[in-house]
Structure 1
């Protein structure tokens, strides 16, 4: 085998391996390889693709990062309408459905039973084996084109490698999110001060509506395909088409079943009513379809639904149990969340002992009393929640549950900001659970990514007084001898941890800022702040007006930053981290000057643009001698405006009579 053939073989092998690892990590939230090994393989693949560009695949794992901005989603008419299905919740209606089928076409037919995935319906068009368009259900007649977002989903083929598929076809399915991935991402949102999603379906749907496909790529979506449409009928039955789609490389559920009688259908429904809780994703019922296409055509449609298919929907499982007590958890940002301790009971395949009560408003809404008999459900079949109380079983004289006034961990008087549902403990520098969880957040993979410092290790080191603040992490080498006395902490583990701590000093400013755990400052917000202010000194000195002038930075985020930097202990902590060598200045890219045509002129870029990203426009301005400002003031010469620009910026620019120009007008100046 020649060197070139060996390279091609290695590229194919690495591509296949990395796609599977990507799927395991991002979609299933079950990594099968370490981050280090994955990065090394990805690096090796990128090098080979650079050396042999003729073998580089546009859909290679090295390219699957999204990044395209969709100015607005185009409305596209469906070639074949995306109709809803008729629903039923009881067996008798299903038996009636079966009788109607038999009356119309006789007894010689089969059903295909499929899981009813709880996600977002999607239609995808392929031409010559390539994905060319993806459209949401919308109103059934037309939907939003979200092709750039769907292209980031690991399990959706962008190009079919093999199979006797037609030149043009449409395949439909459901975009969804696995439970573990949902829980991990929702926890990240809560930690960042963002609103949590109620269930994976809402998270998947919200993700598909994002205009930046780079952000979509960071969210682990999956997709099952379950219906094929072609101009010319290629198969006699739906079952045959599913097997063909699977052989072409589509992700088809393995849990579908061919049934000969309605009794087999009912057995399938009853089986999954219990077993569904063992799946890694949510289903809310079973879809039953007549298998033969000719028979489907004969049965036809009503005005709204096909007569040859129906959805059997499971009722949300609800149980009654006793409220034993209410406890309060303190999160990293100081938010205090009430949690109900329940008399253990079986619900949706698991033993439930606790349920969220969300906030003080929910306790009042439920009119919760001590020892109440309560009804519990699983929200989106994930998070147990109390939905109501059975007042008939309330003990006479039982006192009402009153939300606490002081922090359960440190005793500080709780605060509640106007317009917010949650109470907060303001003692972020002295409240043990806040201190520990902030350090755990700081060393996490998305922040400073320090190996060897897991949650339990942080907790133990806090209890042993090795750690009290984030900055203490960088003094752990001073406790080397004491660390050796800790259980399961040998010299090699200590050395690896200290090496990881030292290495983290090279992490960029935006990672450090995110790692500080300031309320509402998530990954994306941290990047935007660093891109505008460049240094911690400029960020600390920024006024509310200057902060709000930054793209996508609202008053709530701005106020949170100002309050954080007003804290003397916070400023001291930042000074310590600076002295320990952490990065508090953004890495400036070297600007290669192409002309002086914009010399002496200042600009701010706002909104989204069809031809360029904001970063590309920023580079164009700087390469031609212009300067980017961080906020609108009398010093600004031009505001480069795209679509969806913030109204506050527009108002201020008009007030100061600052010229507002388009990206085309900017290019005309060069």
Structure 2
């Protein structure tokens, strides 16, 4: 047995060595076929001797058993956020503050700020034992099961050290594009950008999902290394590299702030040459003893600064302009672009908002334009390169009739709207809205399935969802017995939702989740709301003349009355009875900050208001909870200073799902 054990260890050591050359150094020493042969030998031996399988064996990177939920992890040393700068002058100011405290010039280490997900890795006796997300900086989530699947992370070190390192998990650009291509082919939702894909991957309960995602990591610091003392941060990074960790090669030691600024200027223009996303530069005082002297403010360390890049822009061509019709009938023009890579994702479309925007920018088909992401999220045209016109460009005007149903178009202010309630596009968008998390929360009813149900004539409106049968669903592509039953169960469960959820789900123009809740609190059932006059509706908090008229108009339409009739017959709750959960948050005041993994900001707000809470934009002494996502910013420190209870996303989910 000792001979077998040694053979297994030798194979593991050899595979780990080749993993390091391939995934860390990008210098493969053997062919893929030879590597696969080594792995197959190890797999065969471990199958024959399962008692010798260890969690850190290279064979375990494919993902083990799924977990039920994420455990909380308290960071021994908090993961503080960094103060941000957006100009060269702010970097000069940072340098002056440092010099004022130290009394002399200092050296800085500058590193690329990877746009990924921060994580800490804990090693005991050279073995990876725990990995955790940043969370709120103090409490994170245990993601060890997923981190083990990343091949650039050493599961075992050659030295039996106790240490903690911190890094940024990301997905390379080329692998991200391939991942989205595959997901599109499989009719799965595509990721908006590599960062979202990475964040979603490491927060999977099933590690086999993470193992199929092309995750990578750069280690950027260590909080402690057993038995080691370093004078500078750069020395510590060099040592971590010797241990086998993947350290970004673009780091640089600068003797003065002018060199730092040159580095920032260089990577502002060269960032597109990288195969991974960066959103800035991190500047740190290099000498570790000086960091102790500089200390920290209540919010950030004084020895570090993050320089943020200006919004990224790209030049491309407008190939055409398409119009979509939303659930309220609003026509939204969209520029179809020559595809370009912008902030990590391929952009081929940009919003043009409305006809007024098109005319104001003078956007024409065939124009060369500059695009950027508004708030780093929504691509939009910011400039037309008029000087590059050659006379072939075509002006554009929204159509005089609906491009989907050819129905009549009305213009109110800047908005053109199809007034046909039965427009196929409006119907599809209404059903998607009805099913979303903040409304009726019908899990599994995504965009592609809604299309299939409509195309196959299984539904004609949102109420028809409650009359679906399994024998019809299993005939659809990718809908087997299990998936169809799960959908029917989710639809059945939604019948017991509150009246507020239903009102919001109906998609009445101008009626958001908060107005829907106020209506449900002031009327005993849907019938009372349907019979209410405009004046009676305007007596409700948050309901002005425009909203009141919209409600009256909706319930005066025959199509709406037919939908309500079918919902009633199906057994959907139309009463304002407050389930225990509906008052769960009892006027509690919430503030949301940072990027949430499982909710959009509007979805989280909708859930809170649905359960009786309120969402405000700023932290104050009246705030009950701050819900913290990734990169929370200054609101986190404000909440700490005021003693406001801070919830991670998982803690928030536990409250709303109780």
- TM-score computed with the length of structure 2 as normaliser: 0.53
CA distance in 2, matches of 1:389, 1:205: 32
Within the candidate set 304, 310, 317, 1:315 is matched to 310
CA distance in 2, matches of 1:14, 1:398: 64
CA distance in 1, matches of 2:489, 2:265: 50
- Contact map agreement 2:115 2:170 (CA 8 A) in 1: yes
The alpha carbon displacement at 1:386 in A equals 3.6
For the residue of structure 1 that corresponds to 2:60, the secondary structure is coil
Once the two structures are superposed, residues 527-583 of structure 1 have per-residue CA deviations (whole angstroms, 9 ceiling, x without a partner) of: xxxxxxxxx999549999955564589879xxxxxxxxxxxxxxxxxxxxxxxxxxx
Match of 2:644 in 1: none
The alpha carbon displacement at 1:379 in A equals 9.0
CA distance in 2, matches of 1:237, 1:305: 20
Structure 2 counterparts to residues 244-283 of structure 1, below 5 A:
244-283=239-278
Structure 1 pair 322–127 and aligned structure 2 pair: CA distance change class (3 A): closer
CA distance in 2, matches of 1:349, 1:75: 32
Once the two structures are superposed, residues 211-263 of structure 1 have per-residue CA deviations (whole angstroms, 9 ceiling, x without a partner) of: 11111111111111111112877212211111111111211111111111112
CA distance in 2, matches of 1:203, 1:232: 37
Within the candidate set 179, 186, 207, 1:192 is matched to 186
Structure 1 pair 31–219 and aligned structure 2 pair: CA distance change class (3 A): farther
Match of 2:280 in 1: 285
Structure 2 counterparts to residues 68-217 of structure 1, below 5 A:
68-160=65-157, 162-163=158-159, 166=161, 168-217=162-211
CA distance in 2, matches of 1:139, 1:551: 34
Once the two structures are superposed, residues 119-173 of structure 1 have per-residue CA deviations (whole angstroms, 9 ceiling, x without a partner) of: 011112222212222121111121112121112111112221x23x64x332111
CA distance in 2, matches of 1:171, 1:229: 6
Structure 2 counterparts to residues 642-657 of structure 1, below 5 A:
none
The alpha carbon displacement at 1:290 in A equals 0.5
- Contact map agreement 2:18 2:29 (CA 8 A) in 1: no
- Contact map agreement 2:123 2:163 (CA 8 A) in 1: yes
For the residue of structure 1 that corresponds to 2:298, the secondary structure is coil
Match of 1:357 in 2: 349
- Contact map agreement 1:370 1:401 (CA 8 A) in 2: no
The alpha carbon displacement at 1:377 in A equals 2.5
Unaligned runs of 5+ in 2: 324-332, 405-422, 433-450, 454-470, 492-658
- Contact map agreement 1:544 1:555 (CA 8 A) in 2: no
63-72 or 43-52: which moved more? 43-52
Structure 1 pair 391–215 and aligned structure 2 pair: CA distance change class (3 A): same
Structure 1 pair 519–125 and aligned structure 2 pair: CA distance change class (3 A): farther
CA distance in 2, matches of 1:281, 1:384: 20
Once the two structures are superposed, residues 254-304 of structure 1 have per-residue CA deviations (whole angstroms, 9 ceiling, x without a partner) of: 111111111211121122222221111011111010011110000000001
Structure 2 counterparts to residues 530-609 of structure 1, below 5 A:
540=475, 547-548=482-483, 550=485
Q: CA RMSD in A?
A: 5.0
CA distance in 2, matches of 1:75, 1:103: 40
- Contact map agreement 2:314 2:342 (CA 8 A) in 1: no
The alpha carbon displacement at 1:72 in A equals 1.7
For the residue of structure 1 that corresponds to 2:237, the secondary structure is helix
CA distance in 2, matches of 1:252, 1:92: 29
Match of 2:336 in 1: 340
- For this pair of structures, how many residues does the alignment match? 421
Match of 1:15 in 2: 15
- Contact map agreement 2:374 2:380 (CA 8 A) in 1: no
Structure 1 pair 13–169 and aligned structure 2 pair: CA distance change class (3 A): closer
6-15 or 361-370: which moved more? 361-370
CA distance in 1, matches of 2:482, 2:369: 46
306-315 or 142-151: which moved more? 142-151
CA distance in 2, matches of 1:10, 1:57: 14
- Contact map agreement 2:63 2:149 (CA 8 A) in 1: yes
For the residue of structure 2 that corresponds to 1:63, the secondary structure is helix
The alpha carbon displacement at 1:385 in A equals 4.3
CA distance in 1, matches of 2:349, 2:89: 37
Once the two structures are superposed, residues 502-548 of structure 1 have per-residue CA deviations (whole angstroms, 9 ceiling, x without a partner) of: xxxxxxxxxxxxxxxx979xxxxxxxxxxxxxxx9995499999555
The alpha carbon displacement at 1:323 in A equals 3.0
- Contact map agreement 1:157 1:250 (CA 8 A) in 2: yes
Within the candidate set 227, 236, 241, 2:236 is matched to 241
Structure 1 pair 189–359 and aligned structure 2 pair: CA distance change class (3 A): farther
CA distance in 2, matches of 1:5, 1:143: 37
- Contact map agreement 1:317 1:347 (CA 8 A) in 2: no
- Contact map agreement 2:116 2:198 (CA 8 A) in 1: yes
CA distance in 2, matches of 1:183, 1:294: 43
